[in-house]
A and B are shown apart, each in its own frame.
Chain A
Amino acid sequence: MTKAFAVARWEYLEKVKSKAFLIGLFLTPVIMIAMGVLPGFFAAQSDSTSRTLAVLAKDNSIAPVLAERLQSSYTLPSGLPNYVVMPLIASPAMDVKVLEAQAVQRLEAGEFEGFIVLTPGDSVVEYRSKVVGDFEISSRIRETLHGILAEERVRELGLDEDILSKLHVPLDVRIVKIEDEGKDGGGFEKVFISAYVFLMMLFLLIMTSGQMLVRSMIEEKSNRIVEVLVSSCSPTDLMVGKVLGLSGLGLTQMAFWAAIGIAVSAKFNISVVDPAQAGLLILYFILGYLFYAAVFIGAGAPFNTEQEAQQVTSYLVLFLVLPIVLAIPAMKDPGAPWIKVLSFVPLLTPTMMALRIPILMPEWWEILLSTVIMVVSIYFGMIAAGRIFRIGVLSTGKTPGFKEILRWIRTG
């Protein structure tokens, strides 16, 4: 076993020092944060500085009120108003068109970034700006204007000022309610993001280390180092060493990412996962990692070039990607039978479970059964991989067919 540890140590240290590993180590969290955290972050805080707008109208009836309301109703987290609004009122003799033309010039000059055009008696309100993708502002204009118009009607009908104030309350409530819904959405996002982040992490971890394993095996094969290795220590020592070294590599990566994850989630005050879930996720991480290590060894050993090996390993990637594709349907209905069934397919178990755990904790028997299936699969996977490795790693002629490889596994 000392030789297996020597192999493990070598595999670990040489790969930890490699550029590919370092790049993956730092780049992956960056991508992950960019993908998972930033959209939510931006959605929550659409504006960070006040935006200057104008309200343009033929008369004084509504525009100043709208301007005042828009300015006072929405504030930034810093306490400053979200919108600074200036009313532009046409003099009685002035044509609105001229005023509009002036407003466009002032907008071009950068005095404000958009203006609202009110036409009395018309139900169409225009918002003109260079940036028209902002749905938030249109809904806010609608809400505010709706309130003002309602109050106006109340006054026109000569109703009590009390009724007016009473009417005012439900309008406010309605705005709050939308924000409540938004919070619900945030909850959904959080589950989605944490499930996604774990899936992506598992996927990237297995992919990068699996490919590293295959690449190093093929390198050793093509320059015949493997002959020296196999004559120096038994193929079992060699394989165990490789798996151990690579697992160490995976754990290093995981620990590093987890530290970043904890730091990031502490910073933004989001709890991605609770500790009980984390324990289970780590279990599936390790099981998945070991199983895929065996699969990658078996899949990579018979080939002589990286290209050939990649044709096979890219199919393995499909198995890893599948749960990512299934994330959204699983989110909608985490208890669906087909999701449960897929959780017991060894190639899918770790990722399916990583997907399910943050959404809805699987039942205890499912966890137990899937763990047993994984352990048994790892055991037989390692034996089969060892047999393929022993023969495949020395075969340099033509690539063996599937039948030939099956024969290797059977005869050992």
Chain B
Amino acid sequence: MLTVQDLVKRFSSVVAVNGVTFTVNAGEIFGLLGPNGAGKTTTIRMILHILEPDGGSILYNGSPFTEATRNVLGYLPEERGLYKKSRVMDTLVYFGELRGLTRTAARERAHLWLKRLELSGQENRKVEEFSKGNQQKIQFIASVLHDPSLIILDEPFSGLDPVNQLLFKDILLDMKQDGKAIILSTHQMDQAERLSDTLCLINRGAVVLGGAVRDVKQRYGKNTLHVEFDGDGGFMEHLPGVQRTLLYERSAELELETGAMTRTVIDAINPRVELRKVELLEPSLHSIFLQVVGDPADGQGEAAQ
């Protein structure tokens, strides 16, 4: 569906995107990951033809961008924004029209979508009267109303309660089933890990990791001890045989040094906390992200957002 080849974008002296290459296929959720300022948004803007690339090419189903391409693109920006004083239906019809729908078609589809997102009967209320989460739903509808074949969602889950996150997830999976290509740009690694089929990790304007999520994780092998426990796990920051620790309130990810014995590490932990679960698995995407992006202190701050 989408082929991005050697994409380059410079802003005066800064190179924001430096030779990014990836492919997004129909019927696939593609996780576009990376720390803040990595060049994700710039890449997305070039795909959406908001910015002109300085180099490289973007092909949509094998063809370069034309005005008609606009009508197959759908975009949910990270910053939420709608016309506050306008009515929901008017807003949706307008955005539908801008993506090439007729007013009648836009209105019909808007009704269906509002029903699906449990907002039926509120067509004539003003946007500002809705809660943040519901405004996000409206904006989501605005981005997919015209049934785009390439959908770019920037942090679609932020600000949603768990029930609505689930609702969104179902919709995304349905759209994937329908053969849409979905680019999911997010900082929430657990979401990306659960939803994405393929990922592309960008750092400092370049792709540092890419491929099917399964392959990427296998590349790292089963070298990580996932531990759940009760008690103070502070001591796990510095354990012999462990090269990197991700410590949470009641769990930890311990990445073993090559040749380190699993049993030695467990024996070191066991007397000091109440162990609930120990599992040797691939590292989480979160952990991989931190390893690849580097500086863990800095990276943790990013990932925590």
Contacts and interface: CB of A to CB of B under 8 A. Distances in A.
A246 to B, nearest CB: 16
B80 interface: yes
13 contacts: A10-B90, A13-B90, A14-B85, A222-B81, A223-B79, A223-B80, A223-B81, A224-B78, A227-B50, A231-B49, A231-B50, A232-B99, A394-B51
B97 A6 contact: yes
A373 B75 CA distance: 42
B289 interface: no
A13 B77 CA distance: 25
Interface residues of A, number: 22
B48 A225 contact: no
A228 B143 contact: yes
Contacts of B79: 223-224
A233 B81 CA distance: 18
A239 to B, nearest CB: 14
Contact of A225 (B50, B81, B99): B81
Interface of B: 45, 48-51, 67, 70, 73, 75, 77-83, 85-86, 90, 94-95, 97-100, 142-143
Given A223-B79, A223-B80, A224-B77, A18 B98 contact: no
Contacts of A14: 83, 85-86, 90
A243 interface: no
B70 A225 contact: no
Contact of A234 (B48, B67, B142): B67
Nearest to B85: A18
A230 B50 contact: yes
Interface in A223-275: 223-225, 227-234
Nearest to A227: B77
Given A18-B85, A231-B48, 20 more contacts: A3-B97, A6-B97, A10-B90, A10-B94, A14-B86, A219-B83, A223-B79, A224-B77, A224-B78, A225-B82, A225-B83, A227-B45, A228-B75, A228-B77, A231-B49, A231-B75, A232-B70, A233-B98, A394-B45, A394-B51
Contacts of A6: 94, 97-98
B136 to A, nearest CB: 13
Contacts of A234: 67
Contacts of B85: 14, 18
Contacts of A13: 90
B82 A232 contact: no
Please give me the 8 A-B residue pairs with the lowest Cβ-Cβ distance, nearest first. A223-B81, A232-B98, A231-B48, A224-B79, A6-B97, A224-B77, A225-B81, A224-B81
A231 B70 contact: yes
Contacts of B67: 234
B98 A3 contact: yes
Contacts of B73: 231
Contacts of B78: 224
A7 B98 contact: yes
A219 B83 CA distance: 8
Interface string A101-133: 000000000000000000000000000000000
Contact of B75 (A3, A227, A394): A227
A3, A223, A225, A231: residue with the most chain B Cβ atoms closer than 10 Å: A231
Contacts of A224: 77-81
Contacts of B143: 228
Interface in A188-226: 219-220, 222-225
A227 B139 CA distance: 13
Contacts of B94: 6, 10
B105 to A, nearest CB: 13
B70 A223 contact: no
A83 B219 CA distance: 108
